[in-house]
Amino acid sequence: MKFGPSIEVPPCAHGFVTALAPMANVTNPPFRSLARDFGCGLTVSEMVASQHLVKGGVAGLNALRMERAPGGGAHVVQLLGGDPALMAEAARMAEAEGADALDVNMGCPIRRIRHGHDAGVALMGAPERAAAVIDAMVRAVKIPVSAKLRAGTSEANVNAVDVARAVEQAGASLLTVHARTADAGHEGEASLAVIAAVKRAVSVPVIGNGGVKSVEDAVTMARETGCDGVMIGRGALGNPWLFRALATGERQDVTLRDRRDAVLGYARWYCAFVGEGAASRELRKHLRWFYAGTPVEEPLRERLGALDSMAAIERALDELSE
Ligand SMILES: Cc1cc2nc3c(=O)[nH]c(=O)nc-3n(C[C@H](O)[C@H](O)[C@H](O)COP(=O)(O)O)c2cc1C
């Protein structure tokens, strides 16, 4: 799959591209590296708010979010904002920091963002402004720009096709469709029909997103919609083996030892980024995800509060993996 003229994303064993969904406070550079290591084709940074970036520069949380993931692969930075001039300036800054491509968040339903900043999914309610944002960014940078849409704002306004056409016309090189409405949040089934309709309506590549938790879900989404790629969010939490299963076409039998090795690999990268104290606190949620549904889920949960250093985490995982 081509993302603009410069980026080629190889397909998985089933013929479509796989992507890791941007997830704020989760898909930091080490997490993106982990997914890539397991065969994920495309990763996207957590959202970076344009107004903070332009006002505060590349510093603090934004700097971490905008770092390239260690290892290979295209570095796509997602920007959040509804003001074309600010988004163009943020795009220039991200390009200067080394981004290979940019994505625009048109799906975030959080009240403060949607109504306070007229950003995120507010752009689905304002297709002309969505197009103006893309147009301003495409003119400001040389790297390709994509947009991540929702199905619409509500069941009464499922307008992904209209927005897709408008942003393609404005110069977007790739579209992702999270096929739930803003009102649905992250619950309920994603609409394969909406993804299929967007795919038919535009000529740029389309990535489908929403509710994919297994190889079967991903294959069904690609087959029923004709989409070029499948993006996985919560289904990838604690489960990078889903990307490996898709990349290789082979079933993955995951042992407790495999889980230990993968989560500790991530933990070591993450420590190098944010320091041991912050990393070990942050790791607790990943530990819960990595061991969910296993026999050690409960014993691990009981010990989580005491895991305040890498050594303690490593010791606990060694004991529990036996
Ligand atoms: C914790 C969390 C954080 C998210 N942060 C972002 C974000 O920064 N940018 C974005 O476009 N979508 C964000 N999303 C939405 C996901 O990218 C994705 O569209 C959504 O989770 C649906 O996919 P899934 O059903 O596979 O999880 C977030 C979702 C979750 C659960």
User: What integer pLDDT is reported at residue 321 of this predicted model?
Assistant: 85
User: What integer pLDDT is reported at residue 243 of this predicted model?
Assistant: 98
Pocket lining for ligand 1, CB < 6 angstroms: 21-24, 26, 46-47, 78, 105, 107-108, 148, 178, 186, 209-212, 232-235
From the CA of 26, give the closest atom in ligand 1.
Answer: 1
What is the 233 CA–ligand 1 centroid distance (Å)? 6
What is the 201 CA–ligand 1 centroid distance (Å)? 24
**Rounded-to-integer distance, Cα 251 and Cα 162, Å:** 39
User: What integer pLDDT is reported at residue 221 of this predicted model?
Assistant: 98
User: What integer pLDDT is reported at residue 71 of this predicted model?
Assistant: 87
CATH of 10-248, picked from 3.20.20.70, 3.40.50.720, 3.30.1490.20, 3.30.70.360, is 3.20.20.70
Domain boundaries, the chain: 10-248, 256-321
User: What integer pLDDT is reported at residue 273 of this predicted model?
Assistant: 84
Kindly name the residue from 12, 40, 108, 271 that is annotated as catalytic.
Answer: 108
Q: Contacts from 30-34 at CB under 8 Å and sequence distance 24+?
A: 30/69, 30/70, 30/266, 30/269, 30/270, 30/272, 30/273, 31/266, 31/270, 32/69, 33/69, 33/70, 33/71, 33/269, 34/240, 34/262, 34/265, 34/266, 34/269
From the CA of 210, give the closest atom in ligand 1.
Answer: 25
Q: Pick from 128, 129, 103: which is nearest to 50 by CA?
A: 103
Choose the residue to mutate in 53, 79, 234, 246 for probing ligand 1, maximizing ligand atoms within 8 Å of C-beta.
Answer: 234
pTM over 0.75? The answer is yes
Annotated active-site residue 271? The verdict is: no
Residues of the chain with pLDDT under 70: none
From the CA of 103, give the closest atom in ligand 1.
Answer: 11
What is the 181 CA–ligand 1 centroid distance (Å)? 13
CA 160 to chain centroid, in Å, comes to 19
pLDDT digits (tens, 9 = 90+) for 87-140: 999 999 999 999 999 999 999 999 999 998 899 999 999 999 999 999 999 999
User: What integer pLDDT is reported at residue 10 of this predicted model?
Assistant: 97
User: What integer pLDDT is reported at residue 174 of this predicted model?
Assistant: 98
